[in-house]
Amino acid sequence: MRRKLFAANWKMNLTPSEGRSLLAALRAHLDPDAATLARDREVLVAPAFLAIPAAAQALAGSAIALGAQNMHFEAKGAFTGEVSAAMLRYFGVSHVIVGHSERRHLFGESDESVGRRAAAVAAARMTPIVCVGETAAQHDAGHTLEVVLRQLQHGLALIAPEQATTAVIAYEPVWAIGTGRTATPEQAQSVHGAIRSVLDDRFGNPVAAAIRILYGGSVTEENVDSLMAKPDIDGALVGGASLKADSFARIVRAKLQQG
Catalytic residue list = 100, 172
Q: How many residues bind ligand PEP (CB under 6 A)?
A: 13
70 scored as a contact of ligand PEP (CB under 6 A): no
The yes or no reply on residue 88 touching ligand PEP (CB under 6 A) is no
Instruction: Report the DSSP beta bridge partners of residue 41.
Output: 4
How far apart, in Å, are the Cα atoms of 86 and each of 7, 12, 60, 141? 22, 22, 19, 42
Of 167-196, binders to ligand PEP (CB under 6 A) are 172, 177-178
Checking phi first, is residue 177 left (phi over 0); if not, alpha (psi -120 to 50) or beta? beta
Residue 45 or 219: which CB sits closer to ligand PEP? Answer: 219
Q: How far apart are CA 102 and CA 98, in angstroms?
A: 10
Q: Report if residue 216 touches ligand PEP, rule: CB under 6 A.
A: yes
> What is the secondary structure of 150-186 as a DSSP string?
HHHHHHTTT--HHHHTT-EEEE--GGGTTTS-PPPHH
* Residues 131-170 as x/- pattern, contact with ligand PEP by CB under 6 A: ----------------------------------------
Nearer to ligand PEP, 19 or 239 (CB): 239
Decide whether 96 or 208 has the Cβ nearer to ligand PEP: 96
Least distance from ligand PEP to the Cβ atom of residue 9, Å:
4
Residue range at the interface with ligand PEP (CB under 6 A); choices 69-77, 105-113, 122-130, 232-240: 232-240
Q: Are the beta carbons of 48 and 12 closer than 8 angstroms?
A: yes
Pick 85 or 238: Cβ nearer ligand PEP: 238
Q: Which stretch binds ligand PEP (CB under 6 A): 34-42, 61-69, 155-163, 239-247?
A: 239-247
Q: What is 67-126 written as a DSSP string?
A: EES---SSSSSS-TT---HHHHHHTT--EEEES-HHHHHHH---HHHHHHHHHHHHHTT-
Supply φ then ψ for residue 212, to 5 degrees. Answer: -85, 135
Residues forming contacts to ligand PEP in the complex (CB under 6 A) are 9, 172, 177-178, 216-219, 237-241
